[in-house]
Amino acid sequence: MATVRKLSNLVSIGTPEQENPDERLVGQKHLVNKINYINFQDQTLKVNFRHKRYDRIFSLPVKPQPCLDENLECRWVETALPLKEIDTYEFQNIVIESYQRVIRFVPELLEITESGMLLRLPENGTELIAGKLSRRLCRGIQVQLIQTGAHFFGNLASYTELTFQVELQAVPPQSFKWINLERPISLIVSNADETLYAGECRIVEYQIDGQIGRFHLKPLREHLQRFGTKEFRSPRHRLVPSPYVNLRHPFTGVLIHRNVIDISGSGFSVEEDDPDAVFLPGMILPQVEVNFAGSFRFSCKVQVVYRRPLSSPDTGSRVKCGLALLDISAEDHNKLLALLHHAKNKHCYVCNRVDLDVLWDFFFETGFIYPQKYAFILSNKKQIKATYERLYNGDSTIARHFTYQNNEQILGHIAMLRFYDKAWLIHHHAGNTAASARAGLDVLNQIGRYILDSHRLHSIHMDYMLCYFRPQNKFPSRVFGRITRNINDPDGSSIDTFAYFHFQRNRATQPKLPGGWELGEIQADELRALKYFYEESSGGLMIEALNLEPDTKDMGALVGEYERLGLRRERHLFALKKNGRLTAVIIANISDVGLNLSDLTSSLSMIVLDPSNITRSVVEDALHLVSELYSQAEVPVMIFPAKCTEDLAISTEKLYNLWIMKTEYSDHYFRHLKRLLKFVGL
């Protein structure tokens, strides 16, 4: 026979139920159908007993058997029942609790045994009128209540769109007297896998029953600022037809369907009938499906950030709930942004399928591929065409392209490539100014909006944006250079200048470093020395953005993404030392030829820490040794600091500025574009 302690896990004890005037009668046929549904779903009913002496309610779950007529058999959830304890109570009623509905009926008790009950159904039961019930029953949801070091555990019994009802257990020496009822508490709500809510609440009501405490809690905030305040925000779109969302409610497990009011690349809002509202600000919804009339759908993780009444006379008693995107796959997010960008401007496309013949014609017509650049890529044009087929018309998570088009004609283009673990390279910006004065500017706006919507999402890996440009090129200098000057913080945006030239490897010679010099794989302490040097000489973002720190230098996951597309991405780091002292670091980036049409993605970079302790011949010998990793005889080389090439009498072709910006500084990007271009309409 079950012990009293074991029974307490199955029952709830409370005060007598209060009569609710907002009830309607339901007939016996309805009761039978509902009971059979409960049986079909392997769910339970709640049997209420009233204490004969103390007027307290004792509730016990039972499993109904198939009901074919007025007779109902119910079995205890556990096979044994302490009948002696039951004798102190009298049978009260049976309650059916389900989503938005509570049905109560008083059957005739025919028999009660250790295995169950036999009852006769009444002619009628009572049901709470739809829309009057806001309390949602919860099962399997854990809670933690924390206040000034006191930490209590329990379960979420129910919730409304604005409150929680929790049941806690005090484990000695804990006492509920430890809780200051007048002060806020921290509440954490979770399931077996993850946190579903965390926030400060105030205690509205409470009831203590020995070591069990029941608390009615109300969150202190009805509006959650999930992310920092932004001057420029994602534009919201009201689409026709409007999308809708489906989800299993994380607290109740009930399937929820809501219509979307508006949507952006960073979140969306839904509307609810106020009495039926199920979204509480701060609640995390781990698995939400957004469906665009069956033509496109995606799954995402969101958080409810606000709940506001809809004031229109046509809406009635309805509320608008805002949901912020916390997680979504890179592929699905890209499809969403492609839809939204095109909805905003019919000429703007994101990662659309491109006729590569039209793209190449655009590059030549705009002068983006000029004679000297074409001479460099000419010998590899077949490989380059194959690479661009994968990038532009394949399923890529590492490449994005933006076009401004009039039908199939490309008038503006810009692209970006995830070239480091959390850094994307902006490149290949061009516009046909003869055909459209604004096409090149519109794609700059597009890529900025894309960054704004994407940088907070882990799946996109977009903490930094970087771009190479020549200092004498006026347009990128005005755009990227002025952004850096306006931010005026090297921790937000920085520019470092490299000297650029092509190194011609002589296959007939076998270079050898002079005595005392050695070239080997870089070690953690040498990367730290590189960081210290860079902080002193520049103080910018290059080390962290280019994965040149000991704990970020491994880019295996990114390499795997390239391999999945049939592309190549390698990175090798070497330390050049004289008598054991670090003098220079050589970075060998190896990728498919033409991945970047200036071939900056398949090049050698040398950072010289001690120019006074190195000679031109040592530099050439070291470059010769590392260039053996490349298939081509002529390898692009960039040296930093650029001025050291003058001291070493190294002949260079041009200078390149490496611009880097933390994506959280997007306000500065748009603020500058708004001033400079007079058109950004966010």
pLDDT in tens, 328-344: 999 999 999 999 999 99
Residues 312 and 365 placed together within one structural domain of the fold = no
pTM of this prediction exceeds 0.95: no
Residues 124 and 172 placed together within one structural domain of the fold = no
Q: Is residue 484 one of the residues assigned to a domain?
A: no
Residues 502 and 603 placed together within one structural domain of the fold = yes
Residues 512 and 606 placed together within one structural domain of the fold = yes
Taking the alpha carbons of 604, 605, 609, 614 in that order, is the dihedral positive or negative?
A: positive
| pLDDT at position 52 | 84
DSSP state, residue 477? I
Q: 78, 98, 129 — which closes off a domain? A: 129
Residues 532 and 625 placed together within one structural domain of the fold = yes
Whether 285 has a pLDDT exceeding 70, the answer reads yes
| pLDDT at position 660 | 98
Q: Is residue 281 one of the residues assigned to a domain?
A: yes
Residues 401 and 343 placed together within one structural domain of the fold = yes
Count the neighbouring beta carbons within 10 Å of the beta carbon of residue 558. 20
Look up the domain containing 514 and give its range.
497-659
Tens digits of residue pLDDT in 545-604: 999 998 888 888 999 999 999 999 999 999 999 999 999 999 999 999 889 998 899 999
**Strand-pair partners of 154:** 143, 168
Count the neighbouring beta carbons within 10 Å of the beta carbon of residue 552. 16
Tens digits of residue pLDDT in 175-216: 999 999 999 999 999 999 999 999 999 999 999 988 999 999
Residues 509 and 645 placed together within one structural domain of the fold = yes
Residues 75 and 95 placed together within one structural domain of the fold = yes
Query: What value does the mean pLDDT take over residues 257-265?
Result: 96
Tens digits of residue pLDDT in 393-406: 888 899 999 999 99
Count the neighbouring beta carbons within 10 Å of the beta carbon of residue 257. 10
Q: 414, 444, 462 — which closes off a domain? A: 462
Tens digits of residue pLDDT in 451-495: 999 999 999 999 999 999 999 998 899 889 989 998 999 999 999
On the 0-12 / 13-18 / 19+ scale of CB atoms within 10 A, 164 is: buried
> Would you place residue 12 in the very low, low, confident or very high pLDDT band (cuts 50, 70, 90)?
very low
Q: Is residue 3 one of the residues assigned to a domain?
A: no
Count of domains observed in the chain: 5
| pLDDT at position 242 | 93
| pLDDT at position 22 | 64
Residues 604 and 536 placed together within one structural domain of the fold = yes
Residues 389 and 453 placed together within one structural domain of the fold = yes
Q: Is residue 569 one of the residues assigned to a domain?
A: yes
**Strand-pair partners of 343:** none
From residue 274, give the alpha-carbon distance in Å to each of 21, 160, 260, 579.
20, 11, 16, 76
Report the C-alpha gap between 143 and 239 in whole angstroms.
38
CATH assignment at residue 251: 2.40.10.220
Tens digits of residue pLDDT in 219-228: 998 877 777 6
Residues 118 and 157 placed together within one structural domain of the fold = no
Tens digits of residue pLDDT in 71-91: 999 998 865 555 566 778 889
Tens digits of residue pLDDT in 613-665: 999 999 999 999 999 999 888 899 999 999 999 999 999 999 999 999 999 98
Q: Is residue 673 one of the residues assigned to a domain?
A: no
Q: Is residue 233 one of the residues assigned to a domain?
A: no
Residues 143 and 159 placed together within one structural domain of the fold = yes
| pLDDT at position 484 | 93
CATH assignment at residue 645: 3.40.630
Q: Is residue 588 one of the residues assigned to a domain?
A: yes
Q: Is residue 140 one of the residues assigned to a domain?
A: yes
